Amino acid sequence: MCRQRGEALCKKAGWGILSCRLSANGLHRTMIRLFRNKELQNLWEGKRSRIDARFQTRILRRLDALAAASVAEDVNLPGFNFHGLLGFNPTRYTIHVNGPWSITFEFDAGDAQRVDFEQYHQEDANDLSRSRTLPDASG
C-alpha cells in the first residue's frame, strides 16, 4: 500500500516511479539508477516478475534499503550479510537474500548502479549453467 501511495505522489511531483520512494519522513528520490536484471527491475517497478514469490518480500525490503542508502555501507543491516566482493573494479557489493541468491550492486556518486539478482557462489566452478538463472515458482 505504501508503495502504491508513493507511486501516486511521485507522479504528482513529476518524478518517475523508479526515481522516487515514500518513507515515514516524506517523499525522496531513490538512489537506484540502473538494474542489470530485468526481472529484478520488473519486481521493483511493481510489474509481473518471474522471481520466485517466496523471495519477493525479502528482495523488496533490501531494495528499499538500497534505494534509501547514500553510501554502500548504509545497507550493512542485520540479516543482510553485506560485504564487498573481491576482484571487481569498481567494487561490487552484495546483500544476501536466500540460500545462494544475493543482490549485487556497485555504488557510484551516491547512487546504486548495476543492481543484479544472482548466485555468485557456485558449488562447481566448472558448471556455469547454474549461475545467474532465476529461481521461479515452478522449481
Asked if 105 and 111 count as a contact pair (C-beta separation under 8 A), the reply is no
Which of 112 and 126 is assigned the larger pLDDT? 112
Rounded CA-CA distance 102/121 in Å is 9
pLDDT for residue 137 is more than 70: no
Nearest CA to 42 out of 124, 134, 112 is that of 134
User: Mean pLDDT throughout 67-94?
Assistant: 93
Q: What SS3 class is residue 86?
A: coil
Range with the poorest average pLDDT among 16-30, 52-66, 120-134: 120-134
pLDDT digits (tens, 9 = 90+) for 25-38: 555 555 788 999 99
pLDDT digits (tens, 9 = 90+) for 2-53: 455 555 655 555 544 445 555 555 555 557 889 999 999 999 989 999 999 9
Q: For the chain, what is the mean pLDDT?
A: 78
Which of 83 and 13 is assigned the larger pLDDT? 83
Rounded CA-CA distance 84/43 in Å is 24
Q: What SS3 class is residue 28?
A: strand
Catalytic residues: 121
Range with the poorest average pLDDT among 13-17, 35-39, 76-80, 103-107: 13-17
Nearest CA to 102 out of 60, 71, 59 is that of 59
Asked if 116 and 36 count as a contact pair (C-beta separation under 8 A), the reply is yes
**Residues whose CB is less than 8 angstroms from the CB of residue 108 and which lie 6 or more positions away in sequence, other chains included:** 90
- 86: Cα separation from own chain's centroid: 19
pLDDT for residue 101 is more than 90: yes
